[in-house]
Structure 1
Amino acid sequence: MSGFLPDYALADVRVSPNFGPRRDGLRPEIILIHYTGMETGSSAEAWLCDPVSEVSCHYLVHEDGSIVQMVREADRAWHAGRGSWLGRTDINSCSIGIEVANPGHAYGYPDFAARQVEALIALCRDIAERYSIRPERVLAHSDTAPGRKVDPGEKFPWATLAAAGIGHFVKPAPLRGGRFLSVGEHGEPVDALQSMLALYGYGVEITGAFDVTTEAVVAAFQRHFRPERVDGVADLSTIETLHGLLAALPPDVG
């Protein structure tokens, strides 16, 4: 493909060769947000367009708020890798992937710039309106790949996006003492926790055993919805925040 018209009017186009057709008739129902995890946005842009990398995204939002589209929204960008959400395992075929330029944890993990966040909000709003993507389907890469991915990380301003109508978010319950669940626990409370996480969308098996996989899912949940402490321990704050999110879902979800 030599070029295409951008799906988002404010985006510039730089074509990546790393894409294919969406499978099984799937269409975008998820907006999946990543950070680039490279030292500069320009180096990330080059890598996402390099056939050697075998990775891409639909959009890259640079530090200055400029936006580059690399793959048509009609096509399947290679951004999500192995993962799942609400039982779907081919996340690439049912999502729009947005990379936000940020060096990430390996390079000091700076705050996301205000103008970058503003540009991202406008882009997400446009995509969500065109595809009727529900707020609870605006996700972090770490949500769909717990334990394997941590981006866009605990500094990502989900509350700011939610205030602008992008994404599903409730005010996190405050940290405090009390009963908590962690690796090695067994029983009905763990079963209930796993059931709630699975109901929200996370790929966790309901076994009643708090294993390392459950710990990774709890950490992914915290990274998105209770970022003050990301430790994989299901304390009262984590569980109450999860309750709040489930209660705030539209009645036809689930």
Structure 2
Amino acid sequence: MTEPPSRLPRPDSPIAKKVFASPNHSERLINGAPPEGTGFRVPDMLILHYTGMPEAGEALNRLCSPVSEVSAHYFVFENGHVLQLVPEARRAWHAGISFWLGETDINSASIGIEIANPGHPGGMPAYPDVQIAAVIALSRDIITRWGIRADRVLAHSDVAPARKLDPGEAFPWERLNAAGVGHWVRPADVTGGRFFSPGDRGQPIEAVQAMFALYGYGISITGVYDTETEAVVTAFQRHFRPLCVDGIADTSTLTTLRDLIAARQNLITA
């Protein structure tokens, strides 16, 4: 006697062990409206998060509770075990109010991965090697299937710099890039030199703000080094210059940003 076929949903990614369904999702939108016909908006971004909670199980329960109204497509435990919470074709609720290169509905444009880690509230512990290996494998599968460009693999803090810190400066972005995930250049050495900091004003600050806006950050070009500018600089440092995260636009920060902008042109024209 043959067994009946399993009715359990299968994960979109073979890296995920099983589906652990969250009810917190909706239709992907295009310009704020559902797409016409039977298609859906194709995700072209990958956003990485940490859970920021002491226990992985507690974080998973929150992402699957209808009361919380938050979710992500995937959840990666410290031991590398991966669950899928939301189908990739659906809009998970992981990014909140966010922005990148003109896009204001990051949830509709992206796939979100939650990585179990207490984060800054828990002292920013290191991510276990086995967990990062799983994140790399999962990310590689997602970006390959959806054709997500390297510079559109981002931190939650990149798209919401005034609100979020995750996945934090301890997250090994360089290791991901070496494995083919994400955009990275060697950070310029922190050697001092000219810098800009909160309270500074004038045309040089406009130029700094314009550079960050060109790369994708949500920043107003005001000519004033305000709290928004400080938050963007800090978010950039967490991702791309993690050795020193101080919110000051020093020579190292700006040189690294310049090099990223130049390197991205090769991705765009490839």
Question: What TM-score do you get using the length of structure 2 for normalisation?
Answer: 0.91
How far 1:185 moved relative to its partner? 1.1
Count, aligned residues: 253
Aligned to 2:11: 6
Q: In the alignment, does 2:101 pair up with 1:92?
A: no
* Partner-residue secondary structure (3-state), 1:249: helix
SS of the counterpart of 1:172? coil
Q: Quote how far apart the aligned CAs of 1:252 are.
A: 6.8
RMSD: 1.4
Partners of 2:152 and 2:262 in 1: CA distance: 16
Contiguous gaps of at least 5 residues in structure 1? none
| Structure 1 residue 191 displacement after superposition | 1.1
Q: Which of 67, 70, 74 is 2:85 aligned to?
A: 70
Distance 1:41 1:166 in 2: 24
Identity of aligned residues (%): 56
Q: 2:235 and 2:242 mapped to 1: Cα distance? A: 9
Alpha-carbon displacement from aligned partner over 1:55-96 (angstroms, at most 9, x marks no partner): 000000100000000000000000000010001010000000
Q: Deviations over 1:117-143 (max 9, x none)?
A: 001101000000111000000000000
TM-score, structure 1 normalization? 0.97
The equivalent residue for 2:259 is: 244
C-alpha deviations, 1:145-176, integer Å up to 9, x for none?
01200000000000000000100001111111
**8 Å Cα contact 1:4-1:72 kept in structure 2:** no
5+ residue gaps in structure 2? 1-6, 36-40
CA distance, structure 1, for counterparts of residue 45 and residue 217 of structure 2:
14
Matched residue type, 2:9: F
Match of residue 195, structure 2, among 172, 180, 183: 180
The DSSP-based 3-state class of the residue aligned with 1:250 is helix
The one of 147, 165, 168 equivalent to 1:150 is 165
What is the match of residue 205 of structure 1? 220
Give the greater-gyration-radius structure (CA).
Answer: 2
Asked if structure 1 preserves the Cα contact closer than 8 Å seen for 2:15 and 2:137, the reply is no
Shift of 1:253: 3.9
Tell me which of 64, 67, 78 is aligned to 1:52: 67
Counterpart Cα distance in 2 of 1:56 and 1:236: 38
Q: Is contact 1:3–1:15 with CA below 8 Å preserved after alignment?
A: no
**Structure 2: how far apart are the matches of 1:196 and 1:10?**
37
| Structure 2 residue identity aligned to 1:52 | V
User: CA 1:139–1:252 in 2, change beyond 3 Å: closer, same or farther?
Assistant: closer
Name the SS for the 2:264 alignment partner: coil
